[in-house]
Amino acid sequence: MARHYALIPAAGTGSRMGDGLPKQYIELSGRPLLYYSIRRLCAHPQIQQVFVVLAQGDQRFARFDWREFDPKLEPLYCGGETRAGSVFNGLLAVRDTVAASDWVLVHDAARCCLGAAELSRLIVEVGDDATGGLLAVPVTDTLKRANREREVIHTEPRVNLWQAQTPQMFRYRLLLEALRATDHHTVTDEASAVESLGVKPKLVMGDTRNLKVTYPQDLAIAELILKTREPGNVGALR
């Protein structure tokens, strides 16, 4: 029977946040953003182990106390130049632990508001699907295509458009081979790498609260979401 593992690429610099600190270590209510992603995944009973892919030479991770997640959490100091590179390196690092048919759930380090319900929904609805799938939500806003001068040149039809989220869940061997065959500098998520093999990942309804912290203003939104989802467990933003 296939087992479930989680992998969090956390070797990036988070340059769009603008303060020089890698985004995964920016604190929200006294905890790094990475903590909330780890906690959600470690708490799920079907996930055997959570691997965090860190930059080589990362010295920040060890400054935090992660003992509450023992023995389920394992850091891997093998991050690549890109997100895809980090995921690929992480998959190679766990090849003696994870079987070819086991599931790997790749989740963003800064997508700190993942709910238990959508995580379980992903695992259940993907089930034994031959390819795998990902959390996503239908696009509701009107989309504009612009030129370099930020002038609108076209309104994009949003019918059947979905906004991808994470986790994205695929069989170990399929994901490894997909990333091996793609350019790590151009692929933006695991699903797009898998799609390049000619297969079709399944879309599983996510939740708009499962946002990815990308810009400074996202921190306040994330704090409010965490407070509503985990009342009493998230203190005031420091």
Q: What is the pLDDT of residues 184-225, one digit of tens each?
A: 999 999 999 999 999 999 999 999 999 999 999 999 999 999
Give the tokens for residue 123. 């695992």
**The domain defined by 4-128+166-198+208-229 carries CATH number 3.30.1490.20:** no
Q: What whole-number distance in Å separates Cα of residue 216 and Cα of residue 3? A: 37
Q: What is the pLDDT of residues 12-63, one digit of tens each?
A: 875 555 567 899 999 998 899 999 999 999 999 999 999 999 999 999 999 9
pLDDT of 234: 55
The DSSP secondary structure of the chain, one letter per residue, reads ---EEEEEEE----GGG-SSS-GGGSEETTEEHHHHHHHHHHH-TTEEEEEEEE-TT--SGGGS--GGGTTTEEEEE---SSHHHHHHHHHHHTTTTS-TTSEEEE--TT-TT--HHHHHHHHHHHTT-SSEEEEEEE--S-EEEE-TT--EEEEEP-TT-EEEEEEEEEEHHHHHHHHHTS-TTT--SHHHHHHTTT--PEEEE--TT-----STTHHHHHHHHHHHHSTTT-----
Q: What is the pLDDT of residues 127-174, one digit of tens each?
A: 999 899 999 999 999 999 999 999 999 999 999 999 999 999 999 999
Q: What whole-number distance in Å separates Cα of residue 226 and Cα of residue 229? A: 5
pLDDT of 14: 59
**Exposure on the CB side of residue 38, measured as CA atoms within 13 A:** 26
**For residue 238, what pLDDT band results from cuts at 50, 70 and 90?**
very low
Domain boundaries, the chain: 4-128+166-198+208-229
Q: What is the pLDDT of residues 129-142, one digit of tens each?
A: 989 999 999 999 99
Report the first-to-last Cα separation within the chain, whole angstroms. 44
Give the tokens for residue 73. 């959490």
Please, what is the Cα angle at 231 between 18 and 135, to 5 degrees? 60
pLDDT of 232: 57
